Structure 1
Amino acid sequence: MPALLDVTDFGALPGHPHTDAAPAVRAALRAARAAAGPVQLRFPPGEYHLWPDRAHGRELYVSNTVGDDPRHRVKSIALLVEATDDLVIAGEGARLVLHGLQTTFAVLDSQRVRVEGLEFDIAVPTVVDATVVGAGVAAGRAYRLIRVPAATLFSVEGASIRWHGEALESGGFAWSGRDALAYTQIHDPAGQRTWRGPNPLFEDVRSIRLVRERDIRIDYGYAEEPADLGLVYSMRSRTRDHPGALVLDSCDVTLSRLRFRFLHGFGVVAQTSRDVTVEGCEFRAPPDSGRHSAGFADFIQFSGCSGRAVVRDCLFDGPHDDPINVHGSYLRLAGQPDPRTLELAYPHPETAGFPQFAAGDQVELVDRATLQAIATATVRTVRQPSGRDHDQPLRTILVTVDVELPDGLVGWTAVENVTRTPTVRIVRNIFRNVPTRGVLVTTRRAVLIEENRFEHMGMAAIYVSGDAAEWWESGPVRDLTIRGNKFIEPGGPAIHLDPRSTRRAPGHAVHSGVVVTENQFVLDGVPALDAKSTRGIRFRDNSIVQRGQETPDIVLRSCFDVRIELDGAGPP
């Protein structure tokens, strides 16, 4: 039997919004780490508030966030599980409210950890959801009445609005910005669609005044009546300074029945970890709160993972980027000191500072233009950043391998660690109110995407890319089954196989082994499948209903060994 610990025994007081539970939570997790054998740490029902001033601080480098920007090296972490094995954190009915800018929880260097039943939210979300509740023309000038949620803090300053977070003990606000901020997406509650677009709320403003506590009237210098009554403009900055949650260098981690009401930064990131499962979780803003955004960016990202990556029975509603993204990282070959030594570089500004290799890992070198493999090798030694400090250069890695490689590879080749690639199962999830894609996946091991429901994605529902020029997210798919899903009017191709190769390699494709079967497509002017540079596509036993303008069901570019069956017909 596991040892039982209760956070209230360490001083946590549920239901006391002005009491910081962080010291008690730290003490409880310390005790769990020190205990011999399995431990269950319980959060009794109630609301717990955690402030960043007494949170754990750790220097960490996380994929797709702020790269090696020294301003954001240290992350504040509300719940830190570190070098702890055989731990269950349970909290049915417990709600954890984070103040300031924090990572909800992090699991570092741990094994057999399960987090279940908790609800996570943030006191002041870093996305402003402004709903247009009134619009018209008065005295020859247009106006809008916008309403913001009770959790949103702001001040009207002349003809401008300053949005901000809470005041911190250390001084100043947790965050602040003016008017439209740096990024906007638009949500239509009636049509249940979300998309990226321009923000007209603060164009040609003559005056701004507070009408009621949460209602703001904006008057304009033009006379045309606004036509966006009922729309929600979701505004934020672009700085992903924290992961929303983090599983790092850990294995056998399960996140079960968690409710993520808002994730600041970059969602739940599983990085260089093995066997990670997310099951029965809800990513959605609190009902009846006036809030629509549940995430600052992606919801879940697997980066450089291995073993099994599983996401099942979850609801994804209201992200600011992709709900699920599974990928590795291409590194640019920047130098070749000798035939067995490779100097590699992190080329993307949002990804740097963490280790990519271990002795014995297999690497593949690819032509950046064609994404075709040109050589493979096994790592012998590596000098690289630790991911936990800045003692080593954060953008370069030096690798020695077991074979001599040809000269002249610098500048046009990229390297992927093919050992750190997971098998993937994404099953029985619901995706809605998404401005981008539903699922991004690039891994060469087996992928199953089954019995999911994709409602009105802003772009493709399933996107399979891979590139060594823009995001540098690797690599090819070799075994992908898309079965029994429902695609409801996506904004782009329902399934988009789109490797970002810039030059063809005759007789070779980037992706292969894709089976699309037993799916239901309800489409409006987009294809069910748009594929480029893919070999071995099998498309059969699918139902396709096209609405709106006439559009081909299938679009193929530079594909071969393809078998398409439409309405019972055989291959074309």
Structure 2
Amino acid sequence: MNKLNLWLSALLLFCSWTYSSAGQVISIADFGLKPDSRVNAVPYVQKALEACRKQPGSTLLFPKGRYDFWAQHSTERDYYETNTTDNNPKTLAILLDSLKDFTLDGNGSSFVMHGRMQPLTLDHCSDIRLKGFNIDWDIPLTAQAKVLKSTPDYFEIQIDTHESPYIIEDNRLVFIGEGWKSEMWGIMEFTPDTHLVAPYTGDRLGWRRYHAEEVSPGIVRLSDPKVAKVYPKVGNWLVLRTNERDHAGIFLFHSNNVSMEEIDLYHCCGLGVLSQYTRDITMIKVRVVPNAAKNRYLSGHDDGFHFMGCSGTIRIDQCAWGGLMDDPINIHGTCVRIVEILSPTRIKCRFMHEQSVGMEWGRPGEKVGFIENQSMRTVGTGIMTSFNPLSKTDFIVELQAPLPVGIAAGAALENLTCTPDVEIRNSFFGSCRARGLLVSTPGKVVIENNTFESSGSAILIAGDANQWYESGAVKDVLIRNNIFRYPCMSSMYQFCEAVISIYPEIPKPDPKYPFHRNIRIENNTFNLFDYPILYAKSVDGLSFTDNKLVRNTTYQPFHYRKDGITLDACKNVLISGNKAEGDVLGKTIRLENMKPGEVKLRKDSFFKLKK
């Protein structure tokens, strides 16, 4: 056999091996489901998934089109989803249960939900690839309206009654959906030309009391005589918040090695993509954005991507968010309180926040940290040997070795094994109700080449063991080559002290033990209309270097902070090489609870320490 024949034989063998290892492509059409038929896709998908289970490495392919999902035939299952209202059971449109080595390829299809249901759930799966589809509702679970008239005493709105049917009940605006009914309780205001949250508005229209009356079909008058009359601008659009965050759009639960690509999540009534105790997640070109074809201003009811208790590496690239009612990304762990010392190695613990109950918080062999919750200092670590739930709120942890000296009831416990490394690149953080990126993990974090237009702080690094119980003191964070546009910090929300806000909730800070460590902010461009650029509390090793600061005059300054940088109880701070273009306002550095010697100001032509 000559060399050419040998090469061809090898190529044929390689191609044959590649085809067989890729697994079988199974079309949903083989089970009788046709695109655009408007029949309930649920039972067809269930049968197709069972066929895929028998073919490891298989791909379930949807011929391009529209597929509708109703609650009938759907699986119902209890899930305790973090930062989500405990409404169980969840109705699951598509459930991947204990699948391995599987691809779901939507081929550009639309998955349209009907009623209150969780579109896609992965439960104890591994090596899963999701790609090529979008998720939406014909009748969204949250409504929107255009402002037609605004007076000192009331304003009037126009509602699309085909998309958002409503009634007026006891002078309240109540929306009627497919199998649900819910009263409006809050409002967010967006500008029509930019789809940005209207500046300075934030949560100011978050009413709980109001009076509603119908002027004519689709036209509703709203007034609130018992509070300050701050009414929206004529021509602006309002998101009318009605529902609880009772399900995720896509739920990754105790799974491993999940990749998502080219997915648009146009709507859901809770967290968009919720990853809970899942290891190694990759998201490329995944968007949680409003459906522009339907002139929607709202995408998700809450966070876009939410990661709790995850591990391995989270990779996010070329993703986008907009029109959310909370943060595009939130990455954290969950602290629990030690409520009783049963023995030197046994402790009774409790979930302290109502939206974190019922979770499988730990497993044998995992590392935990013991936190003194007043100073937030980790005083020691240990290894779990068992986790035994007593109820939705309480559980018992058995430890390999006795508790550290000084740990008593009231202290907090943190799972240090369930903490990921994070890479967030080349993504667009559009205008949403709250902040841009929340990250609290001791893993290595890289945030680079992103663009931020968040209406609150672009980046928040928090952490606490007293209120939200979202754990994770950072140890290695690089914020590099990002663009912060003028909408950043144009409204006030919780913890929004500057464009980048490092704000752990520490009741009694101990200067000897800073909470966060090693945060570098370098080579970014800040387009600033207001004073506060950076706020940092309790950080050891903070640098703000070689950033470009550009004055923007689109909005007028409004923030109560009048310093560019505020440092509170920080150590080893370097500020160097920053340059300004135009009359940037925040020229001064304010120090609180620390000495000037902790700040090194080098080769910086802009910032000056405030005397």
> When the two structures are superposed, what TM-score results if normalisation uses the length of structure 1?
0.90
Per the alignment, residue 532 of structure 2 pairs with: 527
Choose the corresponding residue for 2:457, options 436, 444, 460.
460
Cα offset for 1:471?
Answer: 0.6
Match of 2:59 among 33, 37, 40: 40
User: Deviations for 1:383-434, whole angstroms, at most 9, x for unmatched residues?
Assistant: 13xxxxxxx5121121111221257633431000101100001111111121
Matched with 2:469 is 472
Q: Using the alignment, how far apart are the partners of 1:477 and 1:393 within structure 2? A: 31
1:193 pairs, out of 191, 196, 218, with: 196
Sort the Cα spacing of 1:559 and 1:90 in 2 relative to 1 into closer, same or farther, 3 A.
Answer: same
Task: State yes or no: 1:28 paired with 2:53.
Answer: no
Cα deviation code 1:485-544 (max 9, x no counterpart): 111121141111111111121322000110101100011224221100001011111001
* Maintained 8 Å contact 1:239/1:265: yes
* Alignment counterpart, residue 52 of structure 1, candidates 60, 66, 71: 71
- Residues 181-230 of structure 1, C-alpha deviation per residue, up to 9 Å, x if partnerless? 1232222223543232226898455x41334xxx31438799x9966212
Q: 1:567 aligns with which of 578, 585, 589?
A: 578
Q: CA deviation at 1:267?
A: 1.8
Matched letter for residue 151 of structure 1 = E
- CA distance in 2 between counterparts of 1:238 and 1:155 reads 15
1:122 is aligned to 2:122: no
Give the deviation of 1:266 after TM superposition: 2.1
Q: Kindly tell me: are residues 519 and 23 of structure 1, through their superposed partners in 2, closer, same or farther at Cα, counting changes over 3 Å? A: same
Contact 2:244 2:269 in 1 (8 A): no
* Within-5 A mapping of 1:301-312: 301-312=306-317
Change (3 A) 1:421 1:149: farther
Q: Distance in 2 between matches of 1:7 and 1:504?
A: 58
Q: What's the CA shift string for 1:223-278, capped at 9, x where partnerless?
A: x9966212222122352221221011110001110011102222211100100111
Partner of 1:389: none
The residue number in structure 2 matching 1:171 is none
Could you tell me how far 1:177 is from its partner in structure 2? 2.4
Provide closer, same or farther for how the CA distance between residues 308 and 103 of structure 1 changes in structure 2, counting only shifts above 3 A.
same
- Structure 1 residue aligned with 2:446: 448
Q: CA deviation at 1:556?
A: 0.6
**Offset of residue 145 of structure 1:** 4.1
Q: What is residue 521 of structure 2 aligned with on the other side? A: 516
1:146 aligns with 2:158: yes
Cα distance, 1:458 vs. partner? 2.1
Q: Distance in 2 between matches of 1:362 and 1:353?
A: 20
Letter in 1 for 2:564: D
Partner of 2:354: 349
Q: What residue is the counterpart of 1:420 in the other structure?
A: 418
Of 146-155 and 318-327, more deviation after overlay is shown by 146-155
Q: Is the 8 A contact 2:341 2:409 kept in 1?
A: no
1:119–1:552 CA distance, 2 compared to 1 (3 A): same
Which of the residues 207, 219, 222 maps onto 1:216?
Answer: 219
1:376 matched to which residue of 2?
A: 381
Is 279-288 or 155-164 further displaced after alignment?
A: 155-164
- 1:288 Cα offset (Å): 3.8
The CA distance in 2 between the partners of 1:301 and 1:150, in whole Å, is 32
Query: How far apart, in 2, do the equivalents of 1:115 and 1:100 lie?
Result: 23
Name the CA distance, whole Å, in 2 between partners of 1:143 and 1:514.
46
1:79-109 residue CA offsets vs partner (Å, 9 max, x unmatched): 1111111111111221110111111101111
| Aligned equivalents of 1:219, 1:59: Cα separation in 2 | 38
Q: Deviations over 1:417-452 (max 9, x none)?
A: 101100001111111121111100000010001111
* 2:80 paired residue among 61, 74, 98: 61
What percent identity do the matched residue pairs reach? 26
* Contact 2:186/2:207 (8 A) holds in 1: no
The higher radius of gyration belongs to 2
Question: 1:482 aligned to 2:515?
Answer: no
Q: 2:292 aligns with which of 257, 276, 287?
A: 287
The answer for the alignment partner of 1:102 in structure 2 is 117
Distance 1:396 1:202 in 2: 35
In 2: Cα distance, 1:495 partner to 1:90 partner = 38
Does the CA contact (< 8 Å) of 1:315 and 1:430 recur in 2? yes
Alignment check: 8 A CA contact 2:527 2:551 kept: yes
Counterparts in 2 of 1:517 and 1:277: CA distance versus 1, 3 Å: same
Q: Is 1:338 equivalent to 2:343 in the alignment?
A: yes
Which region of structure 1 is more displaced relative to structure 2, 234-243 or 409-418?
A: 234-243
Name the CA shift for 1:301/1:216 in 2 (closer, same or farther; >3 Å).
same
Distance 1:65 1:219, change over 3 A: closer
The CA distance in 1 between the partners of 2:505 and 2:156, in whole Å, is: 42
CA distance in 1, matches of 2:423, 2:161: 36
- Which blocks of at least 5 consecutive residues in structure 2 are unaligned? 1-18, 490-495, 580-601
Relative to structure 1, the CA distance from residue 483 to residue 47 in structure 2 (aligned partners, 3 Å threshold; closer, same or farther) is same
Cα 1:503/1:38, change in 2 over 3 Å: same
Stretches of 4+ aligned residues off by more than 6 angstroms: 219-222
Letter in 1 for 2:66: E
1:30 partner SS? helix
Deviates more, 1:473-482 or 1:357-366: 357-366
Correspondence for 1:162: 174
SS at match of 2:46: helix
Aligned residue identity for 2:540: R
Judged with a 3 Å threshold, the aligned counterparts in structure 2 of structure 1 residues 228 and 157 are, in CA distance, closer, same or farther, namely same
Distance, in Å, in 1 between the alignment partners of 2:455 and 2:524 is: 19
8 Å CA contact 2:372, 2:412 repeated in 1: yes
Contact 1:13 1:21 in 2 (8 A): no
Contact kept, 8 Å, 2:189 with 2:232, in 1: the verdict is no
- Which stretch of structure 1 is more off in the superposition, 111-120 or 521-530? 521-530
Quote the RMSD (CA, aligned, Å).
Answer: 2.4
What is the count of residue pairs matched by the alignment?
Answer: 541
CA distance in 1 between partners of 2:222 and 2:120 (Å): 43
Distance 1:326 1:225, change over 3 A: closer
Q: Of the two structures, which has the highest relative contact order with CA contacts closer than 8 Å and spacing of 6 or more?
A: 1
Amino acid at match of 1:485: N
Q: Structure 1's 408 and 516: CA in aligned 2 closer, same or farther, altered over 3 A?
A: closer
Could you tell me which residue of structure 1 aligns to residue 371 of structure 2?
Answer: 366
Q: Is the 8 A contact 2:188 2:433 kept in 1?
A: yes
Once residues 554 and 47 of structure 1 are traced to their aligned partners in structure 2, the CA distance between those partners, rounded to angstroms, is: 51
Describe the shift of the 1:135–1:245 C-alpha distance in structure 2 as closer, same or farther (beyond 3 A): same
Distance (whole Å) between structure 2 residues aligned to residue 225 and residue 532 of structure 1: 33
Shift in alpha-carbon separation, 1:406–1:227, aligned structure 2, 3 A: closer
CA distance in 1, matches of 2:451, 2:224: 44
Alpha-carbon distance change, 131 to 201 in structure 1, aligned in 2, over 3 angstroms = farther
Residue 14 of structure 1 aligns with an amino acid whose one-letter code is: P
Give the deviation of 1:148 after TM superposition.
3.0
